[in-house]
Each structure stands twice: as C-alpha cells, then as structure tokens.
C-alpha cells in the first residue's frame, strides 16, 4: 500500500491543535489548585473563629436587656445591695448564712413553681459550674465588657462554648445553699467592665446605654 504523506497545512493545523489542548489543560489545572487553596483557607478561617477562647459574637448595641424569665409568677426575693438604698431595702438585700451577714451581689428571684430561665442577652456560654454554696451556674459573655451570671439553677440546657440568643431558654429555676427556704429560685448578676451592677436598673435598656453609664 502506498504510504500517504500529510500536506504542510495539515501538519501545521495538527500541531496548533495539540498546543491549544495543552494550554487548556494547564489553565484548568491551575483553576483547580486555586479553588482547593481557597477552600482550605476558608475552612481554616472558619475554624479559627470558634476554637479560640477570645472569640465572642459582636454585640448588637441596640439590643435591650430583658428579664431572665417570662413567667408572671416570678417575684423578687432579695434585692441587690446598694449603699444609697433606705434601711428597709438594705435589710432585704442582706443574706444570712452560718452566722454571717453578707451583702447581696445580685438579685434573687423566686416562684411557687419551677420556671424557665431565659438569656437576658445573646452571647457565648463561657462557663458552667456547680458550686456547693451557689448551686449550678451559667456564665454568658457577649463582649469583653458585659457578663451575665445565672445561679441557683436546676436543669441546665446549654453547654460551654454554645452561642445563645436573647430569650432562649438556658435552664430551669432551682435552689442553692444560700437560699434554702425557696425551691424555685434564680440569682442573677451582671458585670460591666469587671464591675458588678444592679440588674434591676438595666432591664429594658439597650447595651449601649449600659456601656455609657
């Protein structure tokens, strides 16, 4: 059989086709590598946001601080102790335990029946503990400036590191050694810049107002 020879223009076209295919392959490979790199970097950033202890969601400055319960049957058992209060209110702000009088560092609430404890602000659960004297405690932090402590709890419904939203049920009311005469209670404390403040003065006020005071 007679051997066929490629004409010059056919050879040129064939070489050009090979070169085009090679360039397309290199371009696709480059895109795949870039995509993989972006995915790895995105995942790395996402993980970093949640594994470090100093990560807290940015607080909404217009969010109003709400009461830590919704039941209408809850009332104040012990007030927050303040030096400027009258004698009657100060007497109601003193805790007596084992022959010792202590100024109440928060507000104690009680009810005849168990009630839901809800988050007064959104934030991160930074600690959960069970103290022999104070009972079960949940600490929620929404920035480096505001911390809310819920104590004397019954059942705890959140975990350390969990993000909670305002109004979310985080626990059930309970009891502690300091308030033996109530079975369904809650001790609430609010800290601003490391200083404790009276929660009753800040309910229905925005976080911005709390930080400005």
Cβ neighbour number for residue 118 with a 10 Å cutoff: 20
Q: Residue 67 is encoded by which pair of tokens?
A: 């009461």
The larger pLDDT score, comparing residue 148 to residue 182, is at: 148
The larger pLDDT score, comparing residue 58 to residue 36, is at: 58
Residue 76: pLDDT over 80: yes
Q: Given this model, what pLDDT does residue 91 score?
A: 83
Residue 206: pLDDT over 60: yes
Lowest mean pLDDT among 22-31, 60-69, 178-187: 22-31
Q: Are 95 and 101 in contact (CB under 8 A)?
A: yes
Q: Given this model, what pLDDT does residue 12 score?
A: 47
Q: How is 191-202 classified by DSSP, letter by letter?
A: EETTEEE-GGGT
Q: Tell me: the pLDDT tens digits for 88-108?
A: 888 888 888 778 888 889 999
Q: Are 151 and 68 in contact (CB under 8 A)?
A: no
Q: Provide φ and ψ at 52, rounded to 5°.
A: -90, 145
3-class DSSP state for residue 91? Answer: helix
Q: Are 117 and 69 in contact (CB under 8 A)?
A: yes
Q: Given this model, what pLDDT does residue 72 score?
A: 95
Q: What is the arithmetic mean of pLDDT over 77-87?
A: 86
Q: Tell me: the pLDDT tens digits for 114-169?
A: 999 999 999 999 999 999 888 999 999 987 678 999 999 999 999 999 999 999 99
Mean pLDDT of the chain: 78
Residue 3: pLDDT over 60: no
């Amino acid at each position: 059989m007679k051997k066929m020879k490629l004409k010059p223009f056919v050879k040129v076209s064939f070489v050009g086709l090979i070169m085009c295919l090679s360039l397309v392959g290199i371009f696709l490979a480059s895109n795949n590598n870039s995509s993989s790199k972006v995915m790895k970097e995105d995942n790395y950033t996402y993980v970093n946001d949640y594994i470090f202890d100093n990560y807290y969601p940015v607080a909404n400055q217009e969010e109003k601080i709400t009461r830590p319960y919704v039941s209408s049957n809850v009332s104040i058992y012990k007030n927050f102790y303040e030096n400027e209060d009258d004698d009657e209110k100060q007497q109601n702000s003193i805790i007596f335990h084992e022959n010792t009088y202590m100024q109440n560092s928060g507000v104690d609430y009680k009810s005849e029946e168990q009630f839901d404890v809800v988050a007064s602000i959104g934030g991160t659960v930074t600690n959960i503990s069970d103290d022999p004297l104070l009972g079960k405690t949940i600490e929620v932090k929404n920035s480096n400036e505001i911390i809310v402590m819920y104590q004397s709890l019954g059942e705890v419904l959140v975990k350390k590191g969990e993000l909670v939203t305002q109004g979310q049920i985080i626990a059930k009311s309970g009891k502690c050694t300091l308030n033996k005469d109530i079975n369904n209670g809650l001790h609430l404390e609010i800290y601003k810049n490391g200083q404790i403040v009276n929660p009753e003065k800040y309910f229905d006020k925005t976080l911005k107002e709390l930080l400005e005071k």
